[in-house]
A and B are shown apart, each in its own frame.
Chain A
Amino acid sequence: MPDATTRTIEIECFRYDPETDAKPRFQRYQVPFTDDMSVLQGLQYIKDHLDGSLTFRWSCRMAICGSCGKMINGVPQLSCHSFLRDYYPRRVRVEPLNHFPVIRDLVIDQSGFLDHLETVKPYLIPKEEQPLAAGPQRQTPLQMDRYYQYSQCINCLLCYSACPQFGLNPDFTGPAALALLHRYNADSRDQGWSARREVTNAEEGVWSCTLVGYCSEVCPKGVDPAHAINQNKVNSTLDYFGILKFLLPRGDAK
């Protein structure tokens, strides 16, 4: 039964102001909430009614824009996708996503990820450019099934916060970017293995993954980055021995 009564929960927020703080601190707020309120709505209540200086990112409020990821009680989650009722009567501790530099309060600097995302060339690389007049490129359901789940990534960065290898070495291309790399490599319209080869095969590519597997656990869209990366360890090995080129069914753009 949904409970319409208002209860009060304590939200503890990570605070950091680069202009005044040398180190971060935590601040607690008493937040009234109803059963239908997400952690994001709790943060919005704080900003609107208790402390206008609290800074955090959000946009769609429905788990599709990927802006509002936070560490909630130590677990990377979309704050619009987790509910205060599930934490009550305990306190909720909200921190910025792990493994990224903090700009202010709950806002992280995701520029390192954007660099990695660009290196995997996340777009179709066909062997021959198809003119628009050629019409749509049809795919069978089986062909689509090979990449579909990887195409659901919303770049929310929860998987990077779940990956200790990325935390220890920010040069690691990381789960989401490598899952997107695989998303295009696995697409029947793409022949770009060679264009993405250097990133895949690098030490900072698939080989920095030690299969912790937490990235796939925390993904809010059911993407399995650990599977994408570890399949490509096999592909990378086959490529090293010069065997992969015989196994690429669609050939290679280069």
Chain B
Amino acid sequence: MSRFQSTAKTYIRPMSGWWLKNPYFIRYMIREGSAVFLTLYALVLLAGLACLAWSPEAYAAWRGLLDTPLSLGFHVIALLLVAYHSLTWFQVMPKTAPKLPFDPRLIVRGGLAASAGLSLLILVLLWWVTR
């Protein structure tokens, strides 16, 4: 029992729809929700790996599935959300670090630069392997 609890009759406001009431909360929910798309994308990729191990026909079928408008649409949305996911998590990263002797924005910029650099490296490697 609270030491400070008042005996006054109070009105408690409902929390329903709280995340729609402030743009900050909407952005937060998109950040959290983007993890669902990240997981789905990883599962699609994992299914491809499983098909590759299974048989050449299964792998060809999986690739066939990827070449549909539905799959392309999903991948475009997933790419945008994963980019947003990375951006927002790098932005909050300094909050998880102890007090730093340098500008915490360096962590954000460093993380974004590393992520952009690695993505570019993978694209170049893919181009080189498949040319």
Number of interface residues of A (CB under 8 A): 37
Interface contact A24-B11, CB-CB below 8 Å: yes
Interface contact A231-B11, CB-CB below 8 Å: no
- Contact with A164, one of B8, B13, B19 (Cβ below 8 angstroms): B19
Q: Which of A38-46, A48-56, A95-103, A192-200 contacts B (4 or more CB under 8 A)?
A: A95-103
B17 smallest CB distance to A (angstroms): 11
Q: Is B2 in contact with chain A by the CB < 8 A criterion?
A: yes
Interface contact A103-B6, CB-CB below 8 Å: yes
Q: Is A168 in contact with chain B by the CB < 8 A criterion?
A: yes
Interface contact B11-A18, CB-CB below 8 Å: yes
Which residues of chain B have C-beta atoms less than 8 A from A227's C-beta?
Answer: 94-95
Which residues of chain A have C-beta atoms less than 8 A from B32's C-beta?
Answer: 210
Q: How many cross-chain pairs have Cβ atoms below 8 Å apart between A and B? A: 82
Q: Name, among A24, A145, A164, A167, the residue most crowded by chain B CB atoms within 10 Å (CB to CB).
A: A164
Minimal Cβ-Cβ distance residue in B for A164: B18
Minimal Cβ-Cβ distance residue in A for B12: A101
Number of interface residues of B (CB under 8 A): 27
Which residues of chain A have C-beta atoms less than 8 A from B4's C-beta?
Answer: 111, 114-115
Q: Which of B20-28, B39-47, B55-63, B70-78 contacts A (4 or more CB under 8 A)?
A: B20-28
Q: Is B92 in contact with chain A by the CB < 8 A criterion?
A: yes
With A213-B95, A233-B96 in contact, do A102 and B13 touch (Cβ < 8 Å)? Answer: yes
User: Which applies to chain B's interface (DSSP): helix, strand, loop or mixed?
Assistant: loop
A164 to B20, CA, bound (A): 12
Q: Is A112 in contact with chain B by the CB < 8 A criterion?
A: yes
Q: Is B68 in contact with chain A by the CB < 8 A criterion?
A: no
Interface contact A214-B25, CB-CB below 8 Å: yes
Which residues of chain A have C-beta atoms less than 8 A from B6's C-beta?
Answer: 103, 109, 111
Q: Is A16 in contact with chain B by the CB < 8 A criterion?
A: yes
Q: Is B3 in contact with chain A by the CB < 8 A criterion?
A: yes
With A101-B10, A211-B92, A212-B28 in contact, do A231 and B98 touch (Cβ < 8 Å)? Answer: yes
Which residues of chain B have C-beta atoms less than 8 A from A234's C-beta?
Answer: 96, 98
With A101-B10, A118-B3 in contact, do A167 and B96 touch (Cβ < 8 Å)? Answer: no
Interface contact B96-A18, CB-CB below 8 Å: no
With A23-B11, A164-B15, A217-B24 in contact, do A115 and B3 touch (Cβ < 8 Å)? Answer: yes
Given A101-B10, A103-B8, 8 more A-B residue pairs with CB atoms under 8 Å apart are A74-B21, A102-B12, A102-B13, A115-B3, A164-B19, A226-B92, A231-B97, A234-B98
